Amino acid sequence: MSTIDRGRRQLIGFGAAAVAGIAIAPGVRLFEIAAAKAPGDPVSGKVRWGMLVDVNRCASDCSECVRACNRENRLSGATRETDSQWIRKIDIKDASSGRTCSLPMMCQHCAKPPCVDVCPTGASFKRADGIVLVDRHICIGCRYCMLACPYKARSFVHEALRDQSPEVPRGKGTVESCTLCVHRVDRGRQPACVEACAASGHEAIVFGNLNDPQSEIARRIASYPTTQVRADLRLDPGVRYQNL
Amino acid sequence: MKIAYREINSASPRYWAAAGALALLALLGLAAAYVMEEHGHVITGMTNQIVWGVPHVFAVFLIVAASGALNVASIASVFGKAMFKPLAPLSGLLALALLAGGLSVLVLDLGRPERLIVQMTHYNLKSIFAWNVFLYIGFVAVVAVYLWTMMERRMNAYSRRAGTVAFVWRLVLTTGTGSIFGFLVAREPYDSALLAPLFIALSFSYGLAIYLLVLLVTYRATARPLGSVVLARLARLQAIFIAAALYFVVVFHLTNLYLAQRQDVERFFLWDGVYSALFWLGQVLLGSVVPLAVLFHPRLGKSPKAIAVAAGLVVLGGIAQMYVTIIGGQAYPLDLFPGMVATSTFYDGVVHGYVPSLPEIALGVGGVAIAGVIVVVATTLLRFVPERLDDSLIAGLDERVGPPARATT
């Protein structure tokens, strides 16, 4: 490829990026990045992180979100009954009408999380910004939270781990689940599954601040009917589903 | 008439064989726990779907039976039945031993058992599990004091009050144990306030069954006289407790059967699930109906051997009940999308399989053995068991007498 050609390509690339930036900037991204906390700042209760999954956009044969989660958090990706799965794709079929759909299921980051209620040591906790986490230092591995979670969102580490990510500490004998990629969110980035879903072209997952009426997630929840899984339990999950 | 308590004589090969077997089983349990912690729970049958397995079946059974074992003492102290007074110290000892056995299993099965100190220093006061930790510790303290008031003559005057506190405490304790499951609102097989009184009724039955077994074995092995009057009273009580537990089981399932949303889960437990046979044959037939028939039988109901068989069946039925409740309750899939059929790589929508592994079983049995070792050691070193419980001694006990006096030897 000649030098001129490369220059032309770069120019086209920059142009496309600029157009995309102009298109996206007024929407969520700039605001959400601004809502991320500065390093060292305490987590703020003014923010409530959440996700909206558009089930119509989620393809049954796509599991990019699962793969991205496994990559980001260094999960093995194996699906034996003892393997950790922080996010999974569930295919559902209406028993009477036969309608089918597919959706990602993970920790729903409830406002009133049963896992936090039942944890004897307080290892399960909810951050001020709504992210539900497990403190791996005080989890004794009793697994009561796994029994209490209505979404089967938690996994127990059944064997020794290798090749962990320094940003995502895990440990044999403790319970773990989706952290909403808290290490990325705190830096103003999106969770890995959201990025991967967008990269795959489906753009089924929107991540953002539920408390900010201007955010895309809040605007969409305000405009369209959305569903909370097991809404009957009144846990106020941070993950919502559209077109379910 | 004075009741003479005497240590168990350890000078017999049979004693050492029994004590040795219990110690060996306890050690095997500890070894199993070590192997489980070393390799992780991957070597057990437990999974991310069945998170509590056979260790919990044994642990919860022992903890429930522990509070029930105290009933014999409560009947003596709280309800003032003199006939039960000679039986009271052993009742308190069994309660402590069974709790220790159950808690050992529970702790050794933790993912991080070495973090027990964390549990002792970090409490989430909204957790029913954390409340249970307080209830267990308090139970040990209350029963220890109660035993002291029974066994130390100067303290005898306080035994009724201590017994009352212990009785109330044990009711609260078993309410807590039942509520560990009752509070699981998202799981259809649990999520019921009825589990607390059900567990209390079960504890009465399991605790007395274990008490009867220990009493019969001890008196036979040590050739101490055990009259038919005491045995008949205990046997009748056992029958009442079995019936009471069965009543709560019937009400629990009947309520669920009435609710459309619970009919699938009831079909799973009562009809076509893998746990239906264990429920009907184990918990109901062998664990309740057969012992009831034996205990109410005019001839068998008086035979020590038949009573021992009935008590043994109650214990086996209890293990079956805990297996159905704990494992079966988890095996039934969570219903995230009512009315929909769900499938996933994480085993959504399917009945979860479970095959207990050897280390799990060894750990559970080890808990029983730990309780056994405690009873053997304590009854050998201290005077827990009356020298005789023959009918003439029982007849001499005035219903109005105070706490039992110890023989001076």
Q: Does domain A36-242 have CATH number 3.30.70.20?
A: yes
Instruction: Dump pLDDT digits (tens) for B365-374.
Output: 999 999 999 9
The residue among B245, B285, B315 whose CA lies nearest residue B58 is: B315
Q: What is the CATH number of the domain that holds B48?
A: 1.20.1630.10
Question: Which residues 99-158 on chain B approach chain A with CB closer than 8 angstroms?
Answer: 110-113, 115-116, 118-119, 122-124, 126-130, 133
Q: Are A174 and A161 in contact (CB under 8 A)?
A: no
Confidence check: pLDDT of B120 > 70: yes
Amino acid at B57: V
Question: Which residues 340-379 on chain B approach chain A with CB closer than 8 angstroms?
Answer: 340-348, 352-353
- Residue B396 included in any domain: no
User: Per the CB < 8 Å rule, is A147 touching B112?
Assistant: no
Contacts B330 to A, Cβ<8 Å: 147
Task: State the Cα–Cα distance between residues B263 and B268, nearest whole angstrom.
Answer: 9
- Residue B174 included in any domain: yes
- Residue B325 included in any domain: yes
User: Per the CB < 8 Å rule, is B112 touching A139?
Assistant: yes
Q: Which of A117, A141, A150 lies closest to B111 in CB terms? A: A141
Contacts B133 to A, Cβ<8 Å: 120
Confidence check: pLDDT of B59 > 80: yes
The structure's pTM equals 0.91
Contacts B47 to A, Cβ<8 Å: 81-82, 158
Contacts A147 to B, Cβ<8 Å: 51-52, 184, 187, 330
Instruction: Dump pLDDT digits (tens) for A178-228.
Output: 999 999 999 999 999 999 999 999 999 999 999 999 999 999 999 999 999
> pLDDT class for A10, splitting at 50, 70, 90?
low
User: Per the CB < 8 Å rule, is B41 touching A90?
Assistant: no
User: Per the CB < 8 Å rule, is B344 touching A90?
Assistant: yes
Mutate which of B126, B185, B355 to disrupt the A interface (most A C-beta within 10 Å)? B185
Three-class SS of residue B355?
coil
DSSP A42: P
Residue % of chain B over a pLDDT of 70? 97
What pLDDT is stored for residue B409 in this prediction?
41
The residue among B272, B262, B219, B246 whose CA lies nearest residue B384 is: B219
> pLDDT class for B1, splitting at 50, 70, 90?
low
- Residue B387 included in any domain: yes
What pLDDT is stored for residue A4 in this prediction?
52
- Residue B119 included in any domain: yes
Task: State the Cα–Cα distance between residues B55 and B368, nearest whole angstrom.
Answer: 11
> What is the nearest CA distance from A167 to chain B, expressed in angstroms?
22
- A27 or B175, which is more confident? B175
The average pLDDT across B375-388 equals: 95
> How far from A175 is each of A99, B40, B43, B112, CA to CA, in Å?
35, 13, 17, 10
Q: Where in the sequence is the domain holding B74, given as residue range(s)?
A: 9-391
Mean pLDDT, rounded, of chain A: 90
The average pLDDT across B306-321 equals: 98
Instruction: Dump pLDDT digits (tens) for A118-176.
Output: 999 999 999 999 999 999 999 999 999 999 999 999 999 999 999 999 999 999 999 99
> What is the nearest CA distance from A111 to chain B, expressed in angstroms?
15
Confidence check: pLDDT of B408 > 70: no
> What is the nearest CA distance from A12 to chain B, expressed in angstroms?
42
User: Per the CB < 8 Å rule, is B344 touching A88?
Assistant: yes
The average pLDDT across B221-246 equals: 95
Mutate which of A82, A96, A149, A241 to disrupt the B interface (most B C-beta within 10 Å)? A82
- Residue B108 included in any domain: yes
Task: State the Cα–Cα distance between residues A221 and B120, nearest whole angstrom.
Answer: 43
How many CB atoms neighbour CB B100 within 10 A?
Answer: 18
User: Per the CB < 8 Å rule, is A118 touching B183?
Assistant: yes
Q: How many CB pairs under 8 A join A and B?
A: 167
> What is the nearest CA distance from B69 to chain A, expressed in angstroms?
26
Amino acid at B371: A
> pLDDT class for B191, splitting at 50, 70, 90?
very high
Three-class SS of residue A27?
coil
Q: Are A44 and A36 in contact (CB under 8 A)?
A: no
Q: Which of B123, B185, B334 lies closest to A152 in CB terms? A: B334
What pLDDT is stored for residue A15 in this prediction?
60
Q: Which of B42, B51, B347 lies closest to A143 in CB terms? A: B51
Mean pLDDT, rounded, of chain B: 94
What pLDDT is stored for residue B16 in this prediction?
96
What pLDDT is stored for residue B400 in this prediction?
46
> What is the nearest CA distance from B127 to chain A, expressed in angstroms?
4
Confidence check: pLDDT of B182 > 70: yes
User: Per the CB < 8 Å rule, is A118 touching B110?
Assistant: no
How many CB atoms neighbour CB A145 within 10 A?
Answer: 28
Instruction: Dump pLDDT digits (tens) for A16-68.
Output: 666 555 555 444 444 444 456 777 788 888 999 999 999 999 999 999 999 99
What pLDDT is stored for residue B2 in this prediction?
75
